Amino acid sequence: MTGTHKNELAVSVRNLFKRYKNGTQATCGIDFEVRQGEAVAILGPNGAGKTSFLRQLTTELKPTSGSVNIFGVDAVKNPNKAKTRMGVTPQEAGVFETLTVCEHLELFGKFKGLDKTFARIQATEIIKNLELENETKQKVGELSGGQKRRILIGLALLGKPPLLILDEPTTGLDPISRRAVWRLLKRIIDGGTTVVLSTHYLEEAEFLSDRIAFIKSGKIIADGTLQELRAGFPNKYRVNYLNGGGQIGIPHTEFFSDFASAQDFIKTNEIDEYQLATSSLEDVYFSVVGERSEGGATDRNAVEQ
Amino acid sequence: MRKRLSDIYCVFQIHLARLRRETGPFLLAAIVFPVGMYLFASGIAQQNLAGSIPNEYKVHFLAASLVFSLSLTAISWLGYLLLENRFTGRLKLFATLPLAPSSYIFGVLIFALMQGAIGTVSMIIAARLLGVETHIDGFSGVLQLTLTVFIALLSLCGTSVIIAARVRSFSEGSLYTDALGAGIVLLAPVYYSSETLPFFIRWIGYVLPTTYIAGAVNKILAGNPFIGGELLVLSAMAAITLAGGFSLMNWREE
């Protein structure tokens, strides 16, 4: 998409609450904004409220209270109008298995208001971008799980909507297919399309998004660019090392606020096998959501304090 | 309006692709089982009468088997498709589109009407081959039969839509659709007269659409044009069940 206005809001969410009939509080007063052309990843543990939040953006789930605006359209009051501005890949959606890949994309293109010719042109283009050219005439039911997932992403791209909402778009894809989807999404983001995606793959969030929001217990607990999030994380360096005293080593991780402390730790403990690196998004993730990574990561400074 | 019509046609096309792929089960439900029921009923009658059965009986059994075909098609088969759409996440895919739930229902209804038309025509051809003499009263008779099948299907499909929208699981829904597809034919005075039923069960027949569909189809096949009463009741039933189906079919989860 061309001509996007980076400062204008694509998504504006205010005080969003969702309480299910069984009493589960899915979102607890979320305030969230996405500017046009921005790509935002939503991260959080299972059950944190990511899908409930995204389903309220896509109008599938009616909020208990609060507002959702999509390009200035009140999505709570005018869901159909809001939906014309977005392409959605739900987390658990089924495809129509008796249609061919081409038929599926063409028919859904028509649902998005494309005429027959444009639907065909876009279907062909998307099939090429999703690297499914060899499967064009194949029934969707005959495809692998990963290929079906790519079709779902393709359906969201039909009509070239200015906003894409993707709920775990690459879950279930093998690494090669995942990277193919990333490349495609990256091109779309670079073209100016606004993207909101949820994922469990931190690498995906890092590769695709301009901004990352962490959600936990239905609340956004941290939100910023990767640099901003890292800056807020006190431990800038991590040391991964094997500790076994000559036997088979047990992997350990220690965090340090400065490079010298990290070097000092290695020297003092006479560690031969180690990896010294700046803290990753994963470290920030565990710090923010309050869970500890495998391998016994400890916050050195915190311990020292 | 144009978009709405296009949406309805696309929903129809999606389901048509399914029918093309699964013609076998459809033919079983729409033609093979109902013809089997016709032969079964005729066989029993023949045993009881100890001789050839009068054409009047044959027409009655044909009308009953036509109702059986419509019921299996509109409730068992269509209900299954609707349940599958809901419980395999396909409905979720529709919900993400700028598509009105009514367009989805109308697309499905048109698909059901097409199936009903195929079933009805096939059953009448099969009946001819089995030596049943129908007395459809020319063009007006064909028109009456078309109208009856149309309204009958609407009332039956409304039931399918309600089941598909209300049940909590796929297995619960498919039990309902399977049981009701055959059950509402067997519990109503379709193959037999209501007098043969115990009194306390007769009232069930009064609230089942199959009673009135059988009554109307039987009259049309016998050349009797007075089906206004049956059509009136069926129209009311169709309006109630479809209104219920429309109100329950909502893309948005509360």
* Residues of chain B contacting residue A79, judged by C-beta atoms under 8 Å apart: 251-252
Residue-wise pLDDT tens digits, A12-43: 999 999 999 888 899 999 999 999 999 999 99
Of A139, A100, A140, the C-alpha closest to A120 is A100
Q: Which of residues 37-56 of A touch B (CB under 8 A)?
A: 55
| Pair of tokens at residue A95 | 């495809």
Q: What is the structure's pLDDT at A174?
A: 86
Smallest Cβ distance to A113: which of B3, B92, B252? Answer: B3
Contact (CB, 8 A) for B141 and B219: no
Residue-wise pLDDT tens digits, A156-171: 999 999 999 999 998 8
Task: Check whether B197 has a pLDDT greater than 70.
Answer: yes
Length of chain B: 254
Candidates B86, B96, B254, partner chain A, best to mutate (most A CBs within 10 A): B96
Of A240, A242, A233, A239, the C-alpha closest to A302 is A233
Model pTM score: 0.82
Q: What residue of B is the nearest CA neighbor of A88?
A: B96
The separation between CA A16 and the C-alpha centre of its own chain, rounded to angstroms, equals: 20
Task: Check whether B7 has a pLDDT greater than 50.
Answer: yes
Is B7 in contact with A79 (Cβ distance < 8 A)?
Answer: no
Q: What is the structure's pLDDT at A293?
A: 45
Q: What is the arithmetic mean of pLDDT over B81-109?
A: 90
Give the helix ranges, DSSP H, for A22-162: 50-57, 79-83, 101-111, 116-129, 145-157
Q: What is the DSSP letter of A65?
A: E
CA B156 to chain A, closest CA, distance in angstroms equals 24
Calpha distance A19→B138 (Å, rounded): 61
* Residues of chain A contacting residue B254, judged by C-beta atoms under 8 Å apart: 21, 62
Task: Check whether B135 has a pLDDT greater than 90.
Answer: no
Q: How confident is the model at residue A258 (pLDDT cuts 50, 70, 90)?
A: confident
Q: What is the arithmetic mean of pLDDT over A277-305?
A: 60
Calpha distance A110→A193 (Å, rounded): 21
Is B89 in contact with A88 (Cβ distance < 8 A)?
Answer: no
Is B253 in contact with A94 (Cβ distance < 8 A)?
Answer: no
Q: What residue of B is the nearest CA neighbor of A152?
A: B93
Q: How confident is the model at residue A305 (pLDDT cuts 50, 70, 90)?
A: very low
Q: What residue of B is the nearest CA neighbor of A22?
A: B254
The separation between CA B178 and the C-alpha centre of its own chain, rounded to angstroms, equals: 13
Q: What is the structure's pLDDT at A6?
A: 61
Q: What is the structure's pLDDT at A271?
A: 83
Q: What residue of B is the nearest CA neighbor of A165?
A: B96
* Residues of chain B contacting residue A18, judged by C-beta atoms under 8 Å apart: none
Share of chain A above pLDDT 70, in %: 90
Q: What is the structure's pLDDT at A5?
A: 58
Q: What residue of A is the nearest CA neighbor of B96?
A: A88
β-strands A65-70, A219-224: how paired?
Answer: unpaired
Candidates B93, B99, B104, B106, partner chain A, best to mutate (most A CBs within 10 A): B93
Residue-wise pLDDT tens digits, B56-84: 899 999 999 999 999 999 999 999 999 99
Q: What residue of B is the nearest CA neighbor of A59?
A: B252
| Pair of tokens at residue A250 | 């047990």
Is A94 in contact with B90 (Cβ distance < 8 A)?
Answer: yes
Is A113 in contact with B7 (Cβ distance < 8 A)?
Answer: no
Smallest Cβ distance to B253: which of A60, A139, A155? Answer: A60
* Residues of chain B contacting residue A83, judged by C-beta atoms under 8 Å apart: 96-98
Calpha distance A246→A16 (Å, rounded): 55
Contact (CB, 8 A) for A51 and A167: yes
Distance linking the first and last C-alpha atoms of chain A: 51
CA A238 to chain B, closest CA, distance in angstroms equals 43
